[in-house]
């Protein structure tokens, strides 16, 4: 079997994983953050868990990318730059900004995310620098331009919305407050909305089934979680803004 065929199978495996994850998350909310609960095995600090589980998205992505024949071509380098803009922030900046006051994460959850990130890094990096083919004129293609713009807008929304959450707590605090400002005016989880835009943008900018599989997986993972967060806020805060949606402004 050729590597392209194996890659294709792994991409389809990710679509299947997305369907499974979507169904499972309506039965069981992923037990981290406000939904943490006992029974998921040994735990590590949430900060360390974030660095460890996201690290393949930087390190494995870079290793696979640099093994590709098109590693020094213009478009693969631009695409890798967009990917790394997100994942350098997520892996090495975000975990040191959260005010988790000693909160833990189950090692089993971090391990699942680690394996997912390995698979995702491989299918996307290998596509961009080896299996896909992008001439320099791709940089002017409307699919690249709209995808890259969506990714950058999504990234700004994601980082800005996470920043509002982080600032709700003073150092050492661990409780929850109603977030306000930015897109919180419209939805309970604009950080997830930004993330959805980013990977939809990536799917467009790479015009690949690997990119689409990741965008679909992100939606399968984050939409049920956003609905769970939204219900959680409504149940705990009597004054929770009634007009707020869960994740997509005015829609859902
Ligand atoms: N691509 C993907 O599939 C994927 C999957 C998961 C996460 N992510 C991204 O990773 C980032 C973190 O995800 P997450 O699920 O941990 O997000 P989250 O539940 O919104 O929490 C983000 C941070 O803010 C704190 N926080 C949340 N709501 C708060 C409130 N009302 N008051 C005070 N503090 C609050 C959380 O503390 P606690 O931890 O103590 O609750 C956590 O430190 C997001 O940007 C998300 O988009 C991406």
For 101, the token pair is 């006051």
- The closest-lying atom of ligand 1 relative to the alpha carbon of residue 199 is 1
Q: Is residue 218 part of a domain?
A: yes
User: How far from each other are the two terminal CA atoms of the chain, in whole angstroms?
Assistant: 43
- Residues 174/100, Cβ–Cβ less than 8 Å: yes
CA-nearest of 45, 35, 30, 47 to 90 is 47
Q: Dump pLDDT digits (tens) for 173-202.
A: 989 999 999 999 999 999 999 999 999 999
- For 213, counting Cβ atoms within 10 Å of its Cβ (0-12 exposed, 13-18 middle, 19+ buried), the class is buried
Tell how far the Cα of 191 is from the centroid of ligand 1, in angstroms.
8
Nearest CA to ligand 1 atom 36: 33
User: pTM score, two decimals?
Assistant: 0.97
Tell how far the Cα of 43 is from the centroid of ligand 1, in angstroms.
18
Q: Is residue 140 part of a domain?
A: yes
Tell how far the Cα of 189 is from the centroid of ligand 1, in angstroms.
9
CA distance to 10, 167, 207, 212, 247, per residue, from 3 (Å)? 10, 46, 19, 19, 38
Q: Is residue 100 part of a domain?
A: yes
- The closest-lying atom of ligand 1 relative to the alpha carbon of residue 175 is 33
- Distance (Å, whole) CA 10 – CA 63: 18
Q: Is residue 242 part of a domain?
A: no
Tell how far the Cα of 75 is from the centroid of ligand 1, in angstroms.
32
Q: Dump pLDDT digits (tens) for 74-123.
A: 999 999 999 999 999 999 999 999 998 788 999 999 999 999 999 999 99
Q: Is residue 91 part of a domain?
A: yes
pLDDT at position 172: 87
Interior angle at CA 141, CA 136 and CA 147, nearest 5? 110
Three-class secondary structure of residue 186 per DSSP: coil
Nearest CA to ligand 1 atom 27: 165
Q: What is the mean pLDDT of residues 229-250?
A: 98
- Distance (Å, whole) CA 49 – CA 111: 9
Residues with CB under 6 A from ligand 1: 33-34, 98, 100, 103, 158, 162, 165-166, 168-169, 176-177, 179, 191-192, 195, 218, 221-222
Nearest CA to ligand 1 atom 41: 33
Tell how far the Cα of 165 is from the centroid of ligand 1, in angstroms.
8
Q: Is residue 24 part of a domain?
A: yes
Q: What are phi and psi of 100, to 5 degrees?
A: -100, -5
With a cut of 90, say whether residue 133 has pLDDT above it. Answer: yes
> Where is average pLDDT lowest: 44-48, 101-105, 165-169?
101-105
Q: What is the mean pLDDT of residues 143-172?
A: 97
- β-pair partners for 104: 45
- DSSP letter at 104? E
pLDDT at position 101: 76
Report which secondary-structure segment, H or E, holds 106: strand 104-106
Q: Which residues contact 22 (CB under 8 A, 6 or more apart)?
A: 220, 221, 223, 224
Nearest CA to ligand 1 atom 46: 192
- The closest-lying atom of ligand 1 relative to the alpha carbon of residue 34 is 41
Residue-number span of the structural domain to which 218 is assigned = 3-236
Q: Is residue 247 part of a domain?
A: no
Tell how far the Cα of 248 is from the centroid of ligand 1, in angstroms.
16
Tell how far the Cα of 33 is from the centroid of ligand 1, in angstroms.
7
Q: Is residue 244 part of a domain?
A: no
With a cut of 80, say whether residue 232 has pLDDT above it. Answer: yes
Q: How many domains does the chain have?
A: 1
């Amino acid at each position: 079997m050729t590597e392209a065929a194996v890659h294709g199978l792994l991409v389809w495996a990710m679509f299947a994983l997305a369907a499974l994850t979507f169904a499972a998350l309506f039965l069981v909310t992923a037990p981290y953050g406000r939904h943490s609960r006992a029974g998921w095995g040994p735990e590590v600090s949430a900060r360390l868990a974030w660095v460890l589980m996201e690290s393949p998205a930087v390190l494995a992505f870079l290793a696979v990318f640099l093994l590709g024949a098109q590693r020094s071509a213009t478009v693969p380098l631009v695409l890798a730059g967009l990917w790394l803009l997100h994942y350098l922030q997520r892996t090495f900046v975000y975990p040191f900004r959260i005010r988790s006051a000693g909160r833990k994460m189950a090692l089993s959850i971090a391990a699942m995310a680690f394996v997912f990130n390995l698979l995702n890094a491989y299918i996307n990096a290998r596509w961009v620098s080896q299996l896909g083919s992008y001439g320099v004129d791709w940089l002017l293609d409307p699919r690249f331009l709209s995808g890259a713009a969506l990714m950058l807008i999504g990234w700004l929304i994601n980082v800005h919305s996470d920043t509002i959450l982080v600032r709700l707590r003073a150092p050492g605090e661990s409780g929850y407050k109603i977030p306000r400002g930015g897109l919180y005016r419209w939805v309970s989880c604009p950080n997830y909305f930004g993330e959805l835009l980013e990977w939809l943008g990536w799917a467009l900018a790479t015009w690949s089934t690997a990119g689409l599989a990741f965008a679909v997986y992100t939606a399968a993972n984050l939409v049920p979680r956003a609905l769970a967060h939204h219900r959680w806020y409504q149940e705990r805060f009597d004054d929770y803004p009634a007009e707020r949606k869960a994740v997509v402004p005015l829609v859902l």
